[in-house]
Structure 1
């Protein structure tokens, strides 16, 4: 990492990159679908969605004035974010609601950046976000998950060719958009079977008095809206 390399990277982060060919954008979308749709691959790739999910809880907790104490990520792709503060009120509601919508919102943000040509900036924002999240992880599996994800993004952003960076950035964005929707479907399936009494939707229902299905519907609306808008921008 010499001074010239750092200067070049910084210039790329602040600048824009040319739009990739359409075949690359479509290939990235197919790669994302392959990572999300087949269950065996989803069991692995879902860890990335969990990182975004718990990161959303953590960010909402901090922004709402709560004290974030730690995040744990588990090998079954579940996670938990612990914060201190009032066990009720707007801050607690915002913290609880942020998890399921964050992956989709991050995917939409990625689509905005890519549409504007900020491919390198997207990759480095991901590295910075994962590094900030890492300091709050409180278990070994969680640390390993964030390190592997962040390390992969860093390697591509530092050593990858412009084509490799564009392909990875588009695939990552497609993955967040598509992968952000599947957990909402899984959530309602588990709730219908009575297997998720402590889900985010049920906790929010107890906090607000609104039926848990309304919260699931909100999660689904955000995920679908982000997917449709993001797809339109990426393909446009």
Structure 2
């Protein structure tokens, strides 16, 4: 591929493409693949790293949007992560602390709706650019490896894969992140119910310490946002189910 062809390809990425024609059978395959990425331990070991990166980027983006100074992001291969930000205001700290667990679902809903709307390549390209920008704030080697791997995968998809197919990939990846958000919330809830020795790393517990609002309320708020994201993503999916009924 020449440099001119590559540049033309890049410009096409951010243009609307044909709306993917998703059949009922393909939709079933999408849910099977999404579940296969987010549920079994063998695949979650790797896909869960993307969910963790999205989680931490949610904290980071919220911190920047609320006027905080972003210190750095650390990602670990055991699916843990830390985002450090500095603020003099409690409200800003609480705001950035909240937007961790809901963001994989927000991202998933955005990918699904973009994919069904013909904006799948643009959505994946935007996500790749965000990951590239996040490299400025990654503060450990594992985090760099995880982020560069995700960037490479995203770049290969948007540059070399036909746009019509990329829309289908965006839908599948979006559903997988929505499933991942539910899995992570279940894990968080389990920490509060059965693994209370790990409370110190829980966003809900940290928010409780900062506000005196019970952890259960924060978990319920996480769940409400995730459920809302599922509802948004379900709109285009339900139309396919209705057509196939």
Query: What is the TM-score with the length of structure 2 in the denominator?
Result: 0.90
- 1:18, distance to aligned residue in structure 2 (A): 2.6
Corresponding residue pairs, total: 235
1:11 aligns with 2:2: no
- 1:167, distance to aligned residue in structure 2 (A): 2.9
| 3-state secondary structure, aligned to 1:138 | coil
**1:92–1:102 distance in 2 versus 1, CA, 3 Å:** same
Q: Residues 31-180 of structure 1: matches in 2 within 5 Å?
A: 31-86=33-88, 89-180=90-181
Q: Report the counterpart of residue 222 of structure 1 in structure 2.
A: 225
Gaps of 5+ in 1: none
- 1:130, distance to aligned residue in structure 2 (A): 0.8
Query: What is the TM-score with the length of structure 1 in the denominator?
Result: 0.93
CA RMSD of aligned residues (A): 1.6
Q: Report the counterpart of residue 212 of structure 1 in structure 2.
A: 215
Structure 2 CA distance for aligned equivalents of residues 79 and 8 of structure 1: 35
- 1:168, distance to aligned residue in structure 2 (A): 1.8
- 1:45, distance to aligned residue in structure 2 (A): 1.2
Q: Report the counterpart of residue 20 of structure 1 in structure 2.
A: 21
Structure 1 CA distance for aligned equivalents of residues 170 and 17 of structure 2: 13
- 1:222, distance to aligned residue in structure 2 (A): 1.4
Structure 2 CA distance for aligned equivalents of residues 235 and 151 of structure 1: 33
**1:52–1:171 distance in 2 versus 1, CA, 3 Å:** same
Show CA shifts across 1:193-214 (max 9, x none): 2132221101111212211000
Structure 2 CA distance for aligned equivalents of residues 12 and 82 of structure 1: 33
Moved more, 68-77 or 193-202: 193-202
Gaps of 5+ in 2: 240-245
